[in-house]
Amino acid sequence: MRLSFLLLLPLMLSACHDETSCDGNQPVAVFQPDIPRVLSHSFRLNKEGEALETLVLEDSFALELWQSNCHSTEQEFRFTIPAPAGASPTFPDLVQLTAAQFHRLSLLGPGYQPFSAWAQTISAHQQDFHQGRPLEVQQSIFITIDAVPSEKELTLIARLKTE
């Protein structure tokens, strides 16, 4: 499993563009704008060594990806999906829905296959997660899962951090 995480790191990191504004490498876009089924894509880098990338697919799937590499490598994925019908999902259900979103990203093309490793890791630790609290899934690799429900949408939040 460790090799899969190492495969994802090049997507998260790039050579430093301006070392005066950040102790680490500047984030780079993870997604390419020419992915099939993508309705919109944007990537914005700010002076503080942080970036915001947004992606909207044709099936009402939206992703906001915040990245920072200044003091530690950190990514926050905010998946917005239609709210599930029926009763509010339990936290273990939310963890599985989050894993499913990473799996969905892995299907965007061969270059996105490493997201499958994140999906598998989240699923394997489903019972270990506590809402809003970081879980160390490998040495110095932490995942925090949270959610913001609303009447029509559900925002699933996964924060990946390496120290």
pLDDT tens sequence across 52-103: 999 999 888 999 999 998 778 899 999 999 988 887 899 999 999 999 999 9
| Residue 86 bridge partners (DSSP) | none
Which domain range does residue 108 map to?
Answer: 2-162
> Are the C-beta atoms of 150 and 82 separated by less than 8 Å?
no
Domain count, the chain: 1
Output Rg (C-alpha) for the chain, integer angstroms: 16
Could you count the other beta carbons within 10 Å of the beta carbon of residue 56? Answer: 17
Q: CA distances (Å), 42 to each of 23, 32, 64, 85, 117, in order? A: 25, 9, 10, 30, 25
pLDDT of residue 87: 79
